[in-house]
Amino acid sequence: MSDWLIPDWPAPAGVKACVTTRAGGVSLAPFDSLNLGDHVDDSPEAVAENRRRLTDHFAIQPAWLQQVHGIVVAHADPSQVVTADASWTQTPGIACAAMTADCLPALFCDRAGTRVAAAHAGWRGLAAGVLEATLDTLAVAPEDVLVWLGPAIGPQAFEVGPEVREVFIQQLPEAAKAFVPSQNAGKFMADIYELARLRLAARGVTAVYGGGFCTVTDPRFFSYRRSPRTGRFASLIWLER
């Protein structure tokens, strides 16, 4: 079975979360082995079996999304796949899920342990406001929100052009601290974790945990930048039944 990554954060009793790794599935290379993405040309039967193993292990019903780097936040519904980049729920046993392979997954809960959410935030979604949209949908006071930032591309691997830097700085001048010049002229190394923390802090959310991962250099995780033909891992959060 997969070497599950369990978030280290002070979530209230009854809030459960996990991040899958590459281990413990049936997909063949280059999707080996616990690929959960059904849009990467992996065998549909393998993806179905991998998802079954996940749901059976934790006794949950994941609400999978068709992610498009936008800011739509859906009510988590395991019975259908909706186009959105975040979901939320108050129903025990239903898991909000974000699938990634370098983009930033962010898990949310309230201190009372009554509602949870998961967001998929690549740089486009982050700049467009997917984290803020998730906060708005949760409708919880900022001081009562906890956020955990899951495995994403690290600041030593995330090279971007000046136009990406400019987008973030125009919205939030403090974002300049999240970019340092690259060895390649005109390029910058971006810290997606710092960008997320700054944007959350601007909304009054300071109880932010996680970060410090790098999907590109950590072989436990799928990475599109490391290998464009690859699978997807999932970050999930749910309320215990």
User: Which H or E element spans position 239?
Assistant: strand 233-239
Q: Is the pLDDT of residue 19 over 80?
A: yes
Closest by CA to 116, choosing from 68, 149, 80, 76, is: 76
User: Bridge partners of 18?
Assistant: 236
Tell me if 127 is assigned to some domain. Answer: yes
User: In degrees to the nearest 10, what's the CA dihedral of 31, 158, 72, 127?
Assistant: -170
Tell me if 4 is assigned to some domain. Answer: no
**Segment 81-100 mean pLDDT:** 98
pLDDT score recorded for residue 69: 97
Tell me if 169 is assigned to some domain. Answer: no
pLDDT score recorded for residue 54: 97
Closest by CA to 147, choosing from 128, 172, 159, 130, is: 130
CATH number at residue 234: 3.60.140.10
Q: Is the pLDDT of residue 147 over 80?
A: yes
pLDDT exceeding 90 applies to what percent of the chain?
99
Relative to beta strand 233-239, strand 94-100 is antiparallel
Q: Is the pLDDT of residue 1 over 60?
A: no
pLDDT score recorded for residue 3: 81
Position of tokens 């899920």? 97
SS3 of residue 62 by DSSP:
strand
Burial of 207 (0-12, 13-18, 19+ CB in 10 A): middle
The beta-strand segments (E) located in 57-135 are 61-63, 65-66, 73-75, 82-83, 86-89, 94-100, 104-110, 116-121
Query: Residue 170 — very low, low, confident or very high, per pLDDT cuts 50/70/90?
Result: very high
User: In degrees to the nearest 10, what's the CA dihedral of 135, 136, 141, 147?
Assistant: 0
Tell me if 161 is assigned to some domain. Answer: no
pLDDT in tens, 153-168: 999 999 999 999 999 9
Tell me if 180 is assigned to some domain. Answer: no
pLDDT score recorded for residue 2: 62
Residues 228, 2 contacting (CB under 8 angstroms): no
Q: Is the pLDDT of residue 52 over 70?
A: yes
Tell me if 146 is assigned to some domain. Answer: yes
Burial of 79 (0-12, 13-18, 19+ CB in 10 A): exposed
Tell me if 232 is assigned to some domain. Answer: yes
Number of domains comprising the chain: 1
Tell me if 54 is assigned to some domain. Answer: yes
C-alpha separations of 122 from 70, 183, 230 in Å: 9, 23, 17
Cα separation, 27 vs 184, in Å, equals 37
**Segment 99-122 mean pLDDT:** 98
Q: Which domain holds residue 91?
A: 15-154+204-239
pLDDT exceeding 70 applies to what percent of the chain?
99
Q: Dihedral of CA 166/170/173/174: which sign? A: negative
Query: Residue 193 — very low, low, confident or very high, per pLDDT cuts 50/70/90?
Result: very high
User: In degrees to the nearest 10, what's the CA dihedral of 69, 22, 161, 198?
Assistant: 70
Query: Residue 29 — very low, low, confident or very high, per pLDDT cuts 50/70/90?
Result: very high
Task: Supply the mean pLDDT for the chain.
Answer: 97
Cα separation, 127 vs 53, in Å, equals 34
Q: Is the pLDDT of residue 225 over 60?
A: yes
